[in-house]
Amino acid sequence: MDLTKKSVKAKRPCEDGYRWFLRTHQDGGDYQAVLDALVNAGRVNDACWLLKQFGPTDAVLRVDAIDADAVVFAGALEVRGNIEAASTVCAGQAIRAGGSIRVDGMLSAGEGIRAGGSIRCGDEFNAGGDVRAGHGIEVQGAASCDGSLRAEWDLMCFGDLAVGSQLVVGNDLFVHGLLKCGKSVRTGGAITVLDEVDVGHGIECGAELYCDRHLWAGWGIKAGQGIVANGAITAGESILATEYIRSGDGFGVYAGIAVQADAWESSARVCAKARPTRLMSGWWAGS
């Protein structure tokens, strides 16, 4: 794809960026070559903006490893080893690494992101498809994934976390902001969320489930230890905990809100060692 002065101007670039393009590519230029030139000139944000405007290509970059300040590629990245970048890695299509991915700034892919090892991101994390990590995932900013997300070890996100489909974590899940998941959440260890939890289907937690605000699941909630929220605890079906269920002061526990009352005994059970203080709906089944 060739970029021309007319096609770039039609996207309404900033004045400084457009002057750079006129100065360095007066007769236009190949799309990827312009992206590379922007990165080499230290204009990584402009390169990401250009990729967003003109979209992905079918190109595939296959290399043994990446160790760079920044990479902005319009197609797919297929790396046999590790990916390491001091600022940004941005691809129009998928990013796949046989080893680990470590990016000190933004990590973004128009499709999925896969790593045989861990994924560490120092800023925003965005994937237009599924995300898979053979080890853990750590994101210092907000993270979004349009597909499913799976980490075999821990997942730590220091901003909001939004997952379009399923979220599966082998060990512990920690989210400093809001957790929103379109389908189910399943962890082998604890879940700690310092804002609200909004899950379209069910939640299954191997240890304690803690939420600093309201906890919501469209289906059921099951925890290997306790369930604690500083707001309300609400589930469309059952709420099951091996130890305790505690809502915040002045807030209730609501089970079976998607189930008819005469079916609560089978489909809206509430189980814990002690009855929740403010159980507002559901069938108390004891421990």
Mind spelling out the 3-state secondary structure of 189-208?
CCEEECCCEEECCCEEECCC
What is the pLDDT at residue 36?
96
Q: Report how far residue 21's alpha carbon sits from residue 23's, in angstroms, rounded to the nearest whole number.
A: 5
What's the CA gap between 143 and 135, in Å, rounded? 17
pLDDT average per 10 residues of sequence, the chain (287 residues): 88 89 87 96 95 96 97 98 97 98 98 98 98 98 98 98 98 98 98 98 98 98 98 98 97 97 96 97 94
Asked, for residue 248, whether it belongs to a domain, the answer is yes
Query: Among 101, 122, 153, which residue terminates a domain?
Result: 153
User: What single-letter amino acid sits at 28?
Assistant: G
CA angle 134, 101, 66 (to 5 degrees): 130
**129 and 238, same structural domain?**
no
Domain boundary among 114, 131, 153: 153
Residue 149 maps to a domain: yes
pLDDT at 5: 86
Q: Which of 129, 153, 177 is the last residue of a domain?
A: 153
Q: Are residues 135 and 179 in the same domain?
A: no
Does residue 147 sit in the same domain as residue 188?
Answer: no
198 and 115 in a common domain: no
Say if 98 falls within a structural domain.
yes
Say what the pLDDT of residue 254 is: 98
Residue ranges of alpha helices (H) inside 2-131 are 5-9, 15-24, 31-40, 44-54
- Whether residues 149 and 171 fall in one domain: no
Burial class (CB in 10 A: 0-12, 13-18, 19+), 3: buried
Query: What is the C-alpha separation between 84 and 107, in angstroms, rounded?
Result: 11
In a domain, 10, yes or no: no
Together in a domain, 173 and 250: yes
Q: Quick one: tokens of 287?
A: 């421990």
Domain housing 196: 167-287
pLDDT value of position 192: 98
Predicted TM-score (pTM) of the model is: 0.94
Looking at the fold, whether 173 and 149 belong to one and the same domain comes out as no
User: 158 in a domain, yes or no?
Assistant: no
Same domain, 204 and 142: no
Residue 130 confidence (pLDDT)? 98
Residues 188 and 130 in one domain: no
pLDDT at res. 64: 98
Is the residue at 5 inside a domain?
A: no
**Whether the Cβ atoms of residue 63 and residue 81 lie closer than 8 Å to each other:** no
Both tokens assigned to 66: 């990446």
Same domain, 171 and 280: yes
* Structural domains in the chain (count): 2
The CA–CA distances, whole Å, from 79 to 62, 97, 115, 150, 186 equal: 6, 5, 9, 20, 29
Cα dist. 12→6, 9, 18, 57, 125 in Å?
A: 10, 5, 9, 21, 26
* Same domain membership, residue 233 and residue 141: no
- Any domain includes 114: yes
Q: Are residues 228 and 120 in the same domain?
A: no
Q: How far apart are CA 207 and CA 286, in angstroms?
A: 19
pLDDT of residue 26: 81
In the prediction, which pLDDT does 22 show?
83
CA distances from 62 to 24, 81, 119 (A): 28, 11, 19
Residue 18 confidence (pLDDT): 85
27 inside domain: no
